[in-house]
Protein backbone atom coordinates (compact mmCIF):
# COMPACT_ATOMS: atom_id res chain seq x y z
CA UNK A 1 0.00 0.00 0.00
CA UNK A 2 1.37 3.40 -0.97
CA UNK A 3 1.84 6.26 1.49
CA UNK A 4 -1.02 8.12 -0.20
CA UNK A 5 -3.36 5.13 0.21
CA UNK A 6 -2.43 4.76 3.89
CA UNK A 7 -3.08 8.46 4.42
CA UNK A 8 -6.51 8.24 2.77
CA UNK A 9 -7.47 5.21 4.87
CA UNK A 10 -6.38 6.91 8.06
CA UNK A 11 -8.42 10.00 7.24
CA UNK A 12 -11.45 7.78 6.62
CA UNK A 13 -11.01 5.97 9.94
CA UNK A 14 -10.68 9.27 11.77
CA UNK A 15 -13.79 10.71 10.10
CA UNK A 16 -15.89 7.64 10.91
CA UNK A 17 -14.81 7.72 14.57
CA UNK A 18 -15.26 11.49 14.80
CA UNK A 19 -18.74 11.35 13.30
CA UNK A 20 -19.86 8.80 15.87
CA UNK A 21 -18.33 10.67 18.78
CA UNK A 22 -19.32 14.22 17.79
CA UNK A 23 -22.92 13.26 17.13
CA UNK A 24 -23.19 11.42 20.43
CA UNK A 25 -21.58 14.08 22.62
CA UNK A 26 -21.74 17.32 20.64
CA UNK A 27 -18.79 19.47 19.71
CA UNK A 28 -18.07 21.04 23.07
CA UNK A 29 -18.18 17.79 25.07
CA UNK A 30 -16.30 15.72 22.48
CA UNK A 31 -12.80 14.49 23.30
CA UNK A 32 -9.98 14.20 20.79
CA UNK A 33 -8.47 11.50 22.99
CA UNK A 34 -11.66 9.46 22.70
CA UNK A 35 -11.83 9.99 18.94
CA UNK A 36 -8.24 8.75 18.65
CA UNK A 37 -9.16 5.68 20.72
CA UNK A 38 -12.20 4.91 18.56
CA UNK A 39 -10.18 5.36 15.38
CA UNK A 40 -7.32 3.27 16.81
CA UNK A 41 -4.75 5.93 15.95
CA UNK A 42 -2.46 8.18 17.94
CA UNK A 43 -3.92 11.60 18.74
CA UNK A 44 -0.97 13.16 16.97
CA UNK A 45 -2.05 11.39 13.79
CA UNK A 46 -5.38 13.20 13.95
CA UNK A 47 -3.67 16.57 14.18
CA UNK A 48 -1.49 15.75 11.18
CA UNK A 49 -4.67 15.51 9.12
CA UNK A 50 -6.88 18.00 10.98
CA UNK A 51 -5.15 20.93 12.71
CA UNK A 52 -7.86 21.43 15.33
CA UNK A 53 -10.98 19.91 16.86
CA UNK A 54 -13.05 22.51 15.04
CA UNK A 55 -11.50 21.60 11.70
CA UNK A 56 -12.28 17.92 12.29
CA UNK A 57 -15.87 18.74 13.23
CA UNK A 58 -16.42 20.86 10.15
CA UNK A 59 -14.85 18.15 7.98
CA UNK A 60 -17.34 15.60 9.34
CA UNK A 61 -20.25 17.92 8.57
CA UNK A 62 -18.87 18.68 5.12
CA UNK A 63 -18.66 14.97 4.30
CA UNK A 64 -22.26 14.44 5.42
CA UNK A 65 -23.48 17.26 3.20
CA UNK A 66 -21.46 16.06 0.22
CA UNK A 67 -22.90 12.54 0.49
CA UNK A 68 -26.48 13.80 0.66
CA UNK A 69 -26.25 16.19 -2.26
CA UNK A 70 -24.55 13.62 -4.47
CA UNK A 71 -27.50 11.34 -3.79
CA UNK A 72 -29.98 14.14 -4.47
CA UNK A 73 -28.33 14.85 -7.80
CA UNK A 74 -28.67 11.19 -8.82
CA UNK A 75 -32.28 11.21 -7.66
CA UNK A 76 -33.17 14.19 -9.84
CA UNK A 77 -31.58 12.48 -12.84
CA UNK A 78 -33.82 9.46 -12.26
CA UNK A 79 -37.10 11.44 -12.16
CA UNK A 80 -37.15 13.00 -15.62
CA UNK A 81 -40.37 11.16 -16.45
CA UNK A 82 -42.32 12.84 -13.64
CA UNK A 83 -44.08 16.19 -13.79
CA UNK A 84 -42.17 19.14 -12.35
CA UNK A 85 -44.46 19.47 -9.31
CA UNK A 86 -43.96 15.78 -8.48
CA UNK A 87 -40.20 16.03 -8.96
CA UNK A 88 -40.05 18.93 -6.49
CA UNK A 89 -42.30 17.15 -4.01
CA UNK A 90 -40.14 14.05 -4.11
CA UNK A 91 -36.90 16.01 -3.95
CA UNK A 92 -37.95 17.83 -0.79
CA UNK A 93 -39.39 14.65 0.72
CA UNK A 94 -35.94 13.09 0.23
CA UNK A 95 -34.45 16.08 2.02
CA UNK A 96 -36.81 15.63 4.97
CA UNK A 97 -36.21 11.89 5.12
CA UNK A 98 -32.48 12.58 5.27
CA UNK A 99 -33.04 14.90 8.22
CA UNK A 100 -35.24 12.34 9.96
CA UNK A 101 -32.60 9.65 9.63
CA UNK A 102 -29.62 11.93 10.31
CA UNK A 103 -30.72 14.78 12.57
CA UNK A 104 -27.07 15.24 13.52
CA UNK A 105 -26.36 16.41 9.96
CA UNK A 106 -28.02 19.71 10.81
CA UNK A 107 -25.13 20.45 13.11
CA UNK A 108 -23.84 22.37 10.12
CA UNK A 109 -26.12 25.26 11.07
CA UNK A 110 -24.92 25.26 14.67
CA UNK A 111 -21.34 25.31 13.41
CA UNK A 112 -21.86 28.34 11.21
CA UNK A 113 -23.72 30.15 13.98
CA UNK A 114 -21.01 29.40 16.56
CA UNK A 115 -17.81 29.88 14.62
CA UNK A 116 -16.14 31.53 17.62
CA UNK A 117 -16.49 28.29 19.60
CA UNK A 118 -14.92 26.17 16.88
CA UNK A 119 -11.80 28.31 16.83
CA UNK A 120 -9.54 29.03 13.90
CA UNK A 121 -10.22 26.80 10.91
CA UNK A 122 -8.09 25.98 7.87
CA UNK A 123 -8.44 28.58 5.16
CA UNK A 124 -11.17 27.72 2.73
CA UNK A 125 -12.86 25.01 4.83
CA UNK A 126 -16.09 26.92 5.50
CA UNK A 127 -16.10 28.06 1.87
CA UNK A 128 -15.92 24.42 0.77
CA UNK A 129 -18.86 23.52 3.01
CA UNK A 130 -20.87 26.47 1.72
CA UNK A 131 -20.06 25.32 -1.81
CA UNK A 132 -21.51 21.88 -1.01
CA UNK A 133 -24.78 23.43 0.11
CA UNK A 134 -24.78 25.71 -2.91
CA UNK A 135 -24.59 22.63 -5.13
CA UNK A 136 -27.64 21.34 -3.30
CA UNK A 137 -29.52 24.48 -4.23
CA UNK A 138 -28.40 24.01 -7.81
CA UNK A 139 -30.12 20.60 -7.81
CA UNK A 140 -33.44 22.30 -7.05
CA UNK A 141 -32.68 25.04 -9.57
CA UNK A 142 -32.07 22.41 -12.25
CA UNK A 143 -35.56 20.94 -11.71
CA UNK A 144 -37.08 24.42 -11.80
CA UNK A 145 -35.19 25.37 -14.98
CA UNK A 146 -36.39 22.22 -16.68
CA UNK A 147 -39.90 22.98 -15.47
CA UNK A 148 -39.74 26.40 -17.14
CA UNK A 149 -38.64 24.78 -20.40
CA UNK A 150 -41.50 22.28 -20.13
CA UNK A 151 -43.98 25.11 -19.67
CA UNK A 152 -44.96 23.92 -16.19
CA UNK A 153 -43.19 26.64 -14.21
CA UNK A 154 -43.55 30.39 -14.72
CA UNK A 155 -40.51 32.17 -16.21
CA UNK A 156 -39.13 33.25 -12.84
CA UNK A 157 -35.71 33.69 -11.24
CA UNK A 158 -35.18 30.00 -10.48
CA UNK A 159 -32.22 30.65 -8.18
CA UNK A 160 -34.38 32.80 -5.91
CA UNK A 161 -37.09 30.15 -6.03
CA UNK A 162 -34.59 27.44 -5.03
CA UNK A 163 -33.48 29.64 -2.12
CA UNK A 164 -37.11 30.04 -1.05
CA UNK A 165 -37.69 26.26 -0.97
CA UNK A 166 -34.44 25.70 0.93
CA UNK A 167 -35.08 28.46 3.48
CA UNK A 168 -38.64 27.37 4.09
CA UNK A 169 -37.78 23.68 4.51
CA UNK A 170 -34.92 24.33 6.89
CA UNK A 171 -36.92 26.86 8.87
CA UNK A 172 -39.71 24.37 9.50
CA UNK A 173 -37.26 21.58 10.38
CA UNK A 174 -35.36 23.82 12.78
CA UNK A 175 -38.61 25.02 14.34
CA UNK A 176 -39.65 21.42 15.02
CA UNK A 177 -36.48 20.70 17.00
CA UNK A 178 -37.84 22.78 19.88
CA UNK A 179 -40.59 21.02 21.81
CA UNK A 180 -42.19 24.31 22.90
CA UNK A 181 -42.43 25.44 19.29
CA UNK A 182 -44.15 22.19 18.38
CA UNK A 183 -46.94 23.07 20.81
CA UNK A 184 -47.42 26.38 19.01
CA UNK A 185 -47.80 24.54 15.70
CA UNK A 186 -50.45 22.23 17.13
CA UNK A 187 -50.65 20.06 14.00
CA UNK A 188 -48.67 17.04 12.76
CA UNK A 189 -45.28 18.05 11.40
CA UNK A 190 -45.79 16.55 7.94
CA UNK A 191 -48.92 18.65 7.40
CA UNK A 192 -47.05 21.90 7.94
CA UNK A 193 -44.08 20.78 5.84
CA UNK A 194 -46.10 19.50 2.89
CA UNK A 195 -48.55 22.38 2.98
CA UNK A 196 -45.65 24.84 2.81
CA UNK A 197 -44.15 23.03 -0.18
CA UNK A 198 -47.52 23.21 -1.92
CA UNK A 199 -47.90 26.93 -1.21
CA UNK A 200 -44.55 27.65 -2.82
CA UNK A 201 -45.39 25.38 -5.75
CA UNK A 202 -48.76 27.03 -6.32
CA UNK A 203 -47.08 30.42 -6.61
CA UNK A 204 -44.75 29.34 -9.42
CA UNK A 205 -46.89 26.90 -11.41
CA UNK A 206 -48.25 27.90 -14.80
CA UNK A 207 -51.36 25.93 -13.86
CA UNK A 208 -51.97 26.52 -10.12
CA UNK A 209 -54.51 23.69 -10.13
CA UNK A 210 -51.55 21.30 -10.33
CA UNK A 211 -50.97 22.18 -6.68
CA UNK A 212 -52.49 19.84 -4.08
CA UNK A 213 -53.64 22.70 -1.86
CA UNK A 214 -57.23 22.63 -3.02
CA UNK A 215 -57.48 18.86 -3.54
CA UNK A 216 -58.34 18.07 0.07
CA UNK A 217 -62.02 17.74 0.94
CA UNK A 218 -61.49 19.61 4.18
CA UNK A 219 -59.41 22.34 2.61
CA UNK A 220 -56.67 21.46 5.11
CA UNK A 221 -53.18 20.26 4.35
CA UNK A 222 -52.77 17.90 1.39
CA UNK A 223 -52.10 14.22 1.89
CA UNK A 224 -48.54 13.67 3.09
CA UNK A 225 -45.88 13.18 0.44
CA UNK A 226 -43.66 11.26 2.84
CA UNK A 227 -43.70 7.57 3.66
CA UNK A 228 -42.43 8.32 7.16
CA UNK A 229 -43.09 11.46 9.16
CA UNK A 230 -42.00 12.68 12.57
CA UNK A 231 -44.68 13.03 15.21
What is the band of 178 on the pLDDT scale with cuts at 50, 70, 90?
low
Mean pLDDT across the chain: 80
Could you give the CA distance from residue 175 to residue 178 in angstroms, rounded to a whole number?
A: 6
Phi, psi of 42 (to 5 degrees): -75, 145
- pLDDT tens-digit map of 179-224: 666 667 667 778 888 899 999 999 999 999 888 886 654 444 444 4
68-210 CATH: 1.10.357.10
Angle in degrees, 0-180, between the axes of helices 125-150 and 53-77, rounded to the nearest 10: 10
Specify the higher pLDDT residue, 174 or 11: 11
Mean pLDDT of 56-61: 83
N-terminal to C-terminal alpha carbon distance within the chain = 49
Cβ atoms within 10 Å, residue 150: 11
Cβ atoms within 10 Å, residue 228: 11
Strand pairing partners for 55? none
Could you give the CA distance from residue 51 to residue 42 in angstroms, rounded to a whole number?
A: 14
Q: What is the pLDDT of residue 181?
A: 67
Q: Within 13 Å, how many C-alpha atoms sit on residue 106's CB side?
A: 18
Nearest by Cα to 159 from 175, 143, 174 = 143
- pLDDT tens-digit map of 118-136: 776 666 666 766 776 787 7
Q: What is the pLDDT of residue 147?
A: 96
Q: What is the CATH architecture of 1-49?
A: Orthogonal Bundle (1.10)
Domain definitions of the chain by residue range: 1-49, 68-210
Amino acid sequence: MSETERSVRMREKILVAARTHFFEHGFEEASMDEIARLAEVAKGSIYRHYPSKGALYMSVLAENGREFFQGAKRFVGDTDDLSTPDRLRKLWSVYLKHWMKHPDAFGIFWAFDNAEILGELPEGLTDNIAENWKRGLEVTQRVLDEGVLRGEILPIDTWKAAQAFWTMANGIIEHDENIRRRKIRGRPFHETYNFSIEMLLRGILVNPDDSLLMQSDSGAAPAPVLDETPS
